[in-house]
Amino acid sequence: GAVVSQHPSRVICKSGTSVKIECRSLDFQATTMFWYRQFPKKSLMLMATSNEGSKATYEQGVEKDKFLINHASLTLSTLTVTSAHPEDSSFYICSAALAGGVTDTQYFGPGTRLTVL
Amino acid sequence: SQKIEQNSEALNIQEGKTATLTCNYTNYSPAYLQWYRQDPGRGPVFLLLIRENEKEKRKERLKVTFDTTLKQSLFHITASQPADSATYLCALEEGGGNKLTFGTGTQLKVEL
């Protein structure tokens, strides 16, 4: 149980285009989802916290107009990288916290490798 | 400033030995600490959670200790196997809301 999927797993796009990444909790409901980015050989950096039905909370230094987050349902959150540039190339990972559960565990998706040319 | 440090970038050990990974933190008062495993090109996989009022947690070959006075957690893998080779991340939760801050990770390689 507690599986989180991401789509796509890899995406290559041209500079200036927008890319949408989906994060789904497959077998549980998640009131909260988190978006991270990870550079090679570096740790995960939290970008934003997404709550179902409300606006996302962004970490300091993360541009909310650049990284649009929508958490439309208890099983789906999307991250849209708008007007992507090569410096946005990274590994983007989402996680979901179990809704109504006693655990504080986050379940992570497999990640999306974004390459901006 | 707040900092989470994990021991060395890479740790090589022989199969069958116990691997011990360290997570030190400063200027945090975490409600709990978690350990994750991450394989190359994959998302982290949850291993263990230990709360501030717990000293030790075990799960199969894994053991985690948490010393809030030393501000340190140790992660042990006993009878290590080549399949245990991965990067191990510690993460702290502070302030509620399940928001995690990750350490830098330790790459473990178990050799035959």
- The DSSP letter of residue A82 is -
Q: What is the pLDDT of residues B64-78, one digit of tens each?
A: 999 999 999 999 999
Measure the CA–CA gap between A28 and A23, rounded to whole angstroms: 13
- Per the DSSP assignment, residues forming a β-bridge with B51 are B32
> Residue B2: what pLDDT?
76
Whether chain B has a CB inside 8 Å of the CB on A111: the answer is yes
Measure the CA–CA gap between B66 and B96, rounded to whole angstroms: 19
Measure the CA–CA gap between A19 and A116, rounded to whole angstroms: 10
Interface mutation vs chain A, best among B36, B89, B100, most A CBs within 10 Å = B100
Q: pLDDT-based confidence at A52, cuts 50/70/90?
A: confident
> Residue A106: what pLDDT?
84
Rounded to whole angstroms, what are the CA distances from B110 to A55, B1, B87? 44, 34, 11
- For residue A99, give the chain B residue with the closest CA: B98
Smallest Cα distance from A42 to chain B, Å: 6
Whether chain B has a CB inside 8 Å of the CB on A43: the answer is yes
Whether chain A has a CB inside 8 Å of the CB on B65: the answer is no
Look at the alpha carbons of B101, A72, A112, B49 in this order and tell me if their dihedral is positive or negative: positive
Interface mutation vs chain B, best among A32, A46, A104, most B CBs within 10 Å = A104
Smallest Cα distance from A15 to chain B, Å: 23
Q: pLDDT-based confidence at B3, cuts 50/70/90?
A: confident
Average pLDDT over residues A39-44: 86
Measure the CA–CA gap between A20 and B38, rounded to whole angstroms: 24
> Residue A100: what pLDDT?
56
Whether chain B has a CB inside 8 Å of the CB on A93: the answer is yes
Q: What is the pLDDT of residues B17-67, one digit of tens each?
A: 999 999 999 988 888 899 999 999 999 999 999 988 999 999 999 999 999
On the 0-12 / 13-18 / 19+ scale of CB atoms within 10 A, B61 is: middle
